[in-house]
Amino acid sequence: MRWDDLFADLEGQWDRELRRDLDHEVADRTRRERASLGLYERLAAAGDATLRVTVRSGDVLTGGVRDVGDGWLLLGADPTHLALVPFGGVVAVSGLGQRAAAALPGRRFGLGYALRGLSRDRAVLALTDVTGGVLTGTIDAVGSDVVDLTEHAADAPRRPENVTGRRVVPFAAIAALRPA
């Protein structure tokens, strides 16, 4: 019996076993890390990527991530063509990378807070709902899960004589909001 050959063979087996264990551990850690990442983290890491976001109305919005927050995304090709998209309105996103390691922190506030800002600014909006319907008007109030939208033409100010209706729209029914 050659002791050197035996010990060399045992050492090779030992090294292969250690390598196999390490490979399994790395794969398991990678799966656990990926499982902890959500849409928020992936969008925050998108950088300058141009994304195609399909929303529940069937529309496909294209542009870069301008901002992201807790439950919402601001997407657009340029500052004049932006859309506020609740995560609940997103069906699919194309163009995202697989990692979120370089993610910049997004906004900590939720969709309701963002909508209250639009209401305060009296912005005239085109609200696309999940059926594809488009309502044009001004958000008058924001509840915990609904917006009160006063409907009027995009080119008319929100005055009593221009109001064509009022709607209460649940957040869950909003596919996207754009400047009218």
Q: How do residues 27-71 score in pLDDT, each as one tens digit?
A: 777 666 666 678 888 898 888 889 999 999 999 999 999 999 989
Q: Give the torsion sign (CA, 43, 46, 48, 54).
A: negative
Q: How do residues 90-140 score in pLDDT, each as one tens digit?
A: 999 999 877 665 555 678 789 999 999 999 999 999 999 999 999 999 999
Answer CATH for 39-94 from 3.30.465.10, 3.40.1010.20, 2.30.30.100, 2.40.50.100:
2.30.30.100
Which two three-digit tokens encode residue 161?
A: 């004589």
Q: 111-179 is classed in which CATH architecture?
A: Roll (2.30)
Q: What is the dihedral of CA 70, 146, 83, 109, to 10 degrees?
A: -20
Same fold, 39-94 and 111-179: yes
The pTM of this model reads: 0.76
Spell out where 5-104 has E strands: 51-55, 60-69, 72-76, 82-86, 90-94
Question: What are the structural domain ranges in the chain?
Answer: 1-36, 39-94, 111-179
Among residues 56, 53, 39, 34, the alpha carbon closest in space to that of 95 is found at 53
